């Protein structure tokens, strides 16, 4: 009888201790909240910048990732712009003893910029001169260039080949199409035919 009683007491004690231990570790973590996470548009070529972290009730640090590293990369909390386009930046807080894990995301847009187009000098020709090729202006964009002439009675353009028709003065426009990190751009020059 004593043996049975001792065994019963032991089982009760073990169950009580086990229940107490379970109550110690089996608690609910507080739900993490996050808000106020947004990015202003930037332009290609802009300097690196630091992310303003979201508002949160958790003390856990944020880690950041960019969904498109061709647009922006992130080192710690510093963003480096790589190209025009849109990427999604995700800020994540890991689970802690008191708070749940949570992530928040926001789109970040990098705009194209205008190309720098130079070196398109004026041209002077004689009515008797043969057709000639235009020398393309220099540009930091690799977009294709199309040529147009203001007065097609003075000269005509086919591709980059100009054919003189009569004496006079007009303008030639070189139009570069948008490409990569650059918007479309134009530059003009004078054509004088004597």
Q: What's the structural domain count of the chain?
A: 2
- Is residue 71 within 8 Å of 4, Cβ to Cβ? no
**CA 55/CA 52 separation, integer angstroms:** 9
Same domain, residue pair 88 and 150:
no
Neighbouring C-beta atoms of residue 185, cutoff 10 Å = 21
Same domain, residue pair 100 and 151:
no
* 143: containing domain: 117-193
**CA 15/CA 17 separation, integer angstroms:** 6
Q: For residue 17, what pLDDT is reported?
A: 52
Confirm whether pTM is higher than 0.85: no
Given 111, 145, 168, the domain boundary residue is 111
Q: Is residue 30 part of a domain?
A: no
C-alpha distances (whole Å) from 60 to each of 32, 76, 104, 146, 150 are 10, 14, 14, 55, 64
Q: Is residue 17 part of a domain?
A: no
Residue that has been written with the tokens 């109550």 in this structure: 23
What CATH number is associated with residue 54?
2.60.40
Same domain, residue pair 133 and 172:
yes
Given 55, 76, 111, the domain boundary residue is 111
Q: Is residue 160 part of a domain?
A: yes
Given 111, 130, 164, the domain boundary residue is 111
Q: For residue 7, what pLDDT is reported?
A: 47
- pLDDT means per 10 residues, the chain with 194 residues, are 48 50 61 95 98 96 98 98 98 93 97 98 97 98 98 98 98 98 98 98
Q: For residue 28, what pLDDT is reported?
A: 84
Same domain, residue pair 86 and 141:
no
Same domain, residue pair 121 and 188:
yes
């Amino acid at each position: 009888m004593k043996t049975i009683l001792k065994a019963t007491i032991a089982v009760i004690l073990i169950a009580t201790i086990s229940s107490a231990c379970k109550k110690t570790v089996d608690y609910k973590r507080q739900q993490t909240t996050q808000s106020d996470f947004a990015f202003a548009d930037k332009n290609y070529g802009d300097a690196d910048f630091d992310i303003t972290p979201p508002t949160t009730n958790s003390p856990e640090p944020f880690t950041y990732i960019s969904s498109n590293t061709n647009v922006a990369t992130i080192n710690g909390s510093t963003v480096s712009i790589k190209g025009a386009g849109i990427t999604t930046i995700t800020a994540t807080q890991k689970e802690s003893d008191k708070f749940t894990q949570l992530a928040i995301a926001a789109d970040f847009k990098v705009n194209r910029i205008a190309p720098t187009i130079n070196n398109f000098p004026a041209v002077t020709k004689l009515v008797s001169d043969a057709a000639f090729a235009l020398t393309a202006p220099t540009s930091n964009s690799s977009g294709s260039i199309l040529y147009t002439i203001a007065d097609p009675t003075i000269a005509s353009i086919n591709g980059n080949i100009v054919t003189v028709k009569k004496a006079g003065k007009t303008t030639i426009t070189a139009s570069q199409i948008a490409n990569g990190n650059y918007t479309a751009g134009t530059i003009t020059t004078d054509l004088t035919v004597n």
